[in-house]
Amino acid sequence: MKIATASDLRTLVIGAGSWGTALAAASSVNSNTLLWCRHQDQAEHISLHHTNPRYLPDLPLPPSLQATHDEQLAIHFLAEQPNQALIILGVPVVAMRETVAHWYQLLSNQQLSHIPIIWTCKGFEQSSGLLPHEVVKSVSLFPYYGVLSGPSFAKEVVQQLPVALTIASHSTVVKERTTQVLHNHFCRIYQSDDIIGVEVGGALKNIVAIACGIADGLGLGHNARAALITRGLAEITRLGLAMGGHAQTFAGLTGLGDLVLTATGDLSRNRQVGLALAKGQTLSDIVASGITAEGVRSARDTFLRAQQLQIDMPITQAVCHILFDNYPPTQAVHELLTREAKPEIR
């Protein structure tokens, strides 16, 4: 694989939340990188002061990283080196449909829709129950696309602490371009062709992390957390295989690895939701406090998919009861513990 120089590579990151900003910082090591922001004042602050105070306060960003609110400037940036360019979508699932449709139109108008595009969001779209790649295919004709996932907190990526991620795509161009841009001295990139498995693992680990937060908040101990992670992985694997994912994916970075981090790490928003629920806070109270977590958005659609495929997912069902049916967490735990005994492999 040819390793392009930083002067050759062009990376446009769309979305200046915590994860978009972190990936823009990481891609700046190997690539000329431009971060597109929804708000002009945010773009100006990042370019001038090299920080993103709203999402990553007190963390310095690379001096070479520039940001813009101007879509045409972003298009021109890509057009200067279209054959060495990469687009990273750093937006949540709820914004995927609108964002992809809008930028596909802009890029198509300039004959730039062949540029590889990858996304980082995790979950099912609430209105349709679609995975991110299904959303992308429903509103665009991007020929080269993929998903980037793995156990990672944005804050640690900006601090250049070691991290390993997986790029999943059916396109060699996508996998090689992503590796050229992001594989560096602190970020290791692995490659996969299992888009479905990677996306299912990313969506469902958030739900299990909520369950682990609830258990920890109730003081149920380390044994309970280990059981939830293990049986949660079994649920993820069952649904993932039924949807067409590969078994080995769920034992890798985007399955077990991401699950362990999100279920145990103090920076996990999904875990924070579980801890708050265990303290008696309602979902509306948690949302009003400013905590947003993809596991909340995805739980219902995940359970619906499981029912459609006749997949048993008791942990996901319990989380849905707590989130949406006003189940006391202790009652949901009791129902999980009193389920009929069965062989572990089932």
- The predicted-structure confidence for 77-120, as pLDDT tens digits, reads as follows 999 999 999 999 999 999 999 999 999 999 999 999 999 999 99
175 is catalytic: no
User: Which among 232, 217, 249 is positioned nearest to 295, based on CA atoms?
Assistant: 232
Name residue 214's amino acid.
I
> What pTM did the predictor assign?
0.94
Q: Is 269 annotated as a binding residue?
A: yes
Across 237-250, average pLDDT: 97
Task: Give whole-number Cα distances, 202 to 67, 187, 239, 288, in Å.
Answer: 28, 19, 12, 25
Q: How far apart are CA 232 and CA 110, in angstroms?
A: 45
Within 10 angstroms of residue 345's Cβ, the number of other Cβ atoms is 5
User: Which among 118, 129, 137 is positioned nearest to 191, based on CA atoms?
Assistant: 118
Q: Is 150 annotated as a binding residue?
A: yes
Q: How far apart are CA 175 and CA 282, in angstroms?
A: 42
Answer whether residue 14 shows pLDDT above 80: yes
CB 103 within 8 A of CB 115: no
pLDDT for the residue numbered 248? 97
Answer whether residue 130 shows pLDDT above 50: yes
Q: Is 268 annotated as a binding residue?
A: yes
Tokens of 217: 């908040």
Q: Is 146 annotated as a binding residue?
A: no
Q: Is 258 annotated as a binding residue?
A: yes
CA atoms within 13 A on the CB side of 136: 22
Q: How far apart are CA 297 and CA 176, in angstroms?
A: 32
| Confidence band for 176, pLDDT divided at 50, 70 and 90 | very high
Task: Give whole-number Cα distances, 31 to 62, 85, 323, in Å.
Answer: 12, 9, 42
Answer whether residue 4 shows pLDDT above 60: no
Q: How far apart are CA 218 and CA 318, in angstroms?
A: 15
The residue written with tokens 């002061």 in the block is 49
Report the first-to-last Cα separation within the chain, whole angstroms: 43
Q: Is 217 annotated as a binding residue?
A: no
Q: Is 114 annotated as a binding residue?
A: no
- Two domains, one topology: 10-193 and 197-338: no
What is the residue extent of each domain of the chain?
A: 10-193, 197-338
Q: Taking the C-alpha atoms of 59, 63, 64 and 70 in order, what is their torsion angle to the nearest 10 degrees? A: 70
Question: 166: alpha, beta or left, given left = phi > 0 and alpha = psi -120 to 50?
Answer: beta
Q: How far apart are CA 22 and CA 37, in angstroms?
A: 13
Q: How far apart are CA 31 and CA 345, in angstroms?
A: 46
Answer whether residue 2 shows pLDDT above 50: no
Tokens of 267: 């920076």
pLDDT for the residue numbered 189? 98
Looking at 2, 137, 155, 205, which residue is catalytic? Answer: 205
| CATH number assigned to the domain covering 197-338 | 1.10.1040.10
pLDDT for the residue numbered 7? 61
Q: Is 270 annotated as a binding residue?
A: yes
Burial class of residue 201 in the structure, from the number of CB atoms within 10 Å of its CB (0-12 exposed, 13-18 middle, 19+ buried): buried
Domain at 10-193: CATH architecture = 3-Layer(aba) Sandwich (3.40)
pLDDT for the residue numbered 39? 95
Q: Is 298 annotated as a binding residue?
A: no
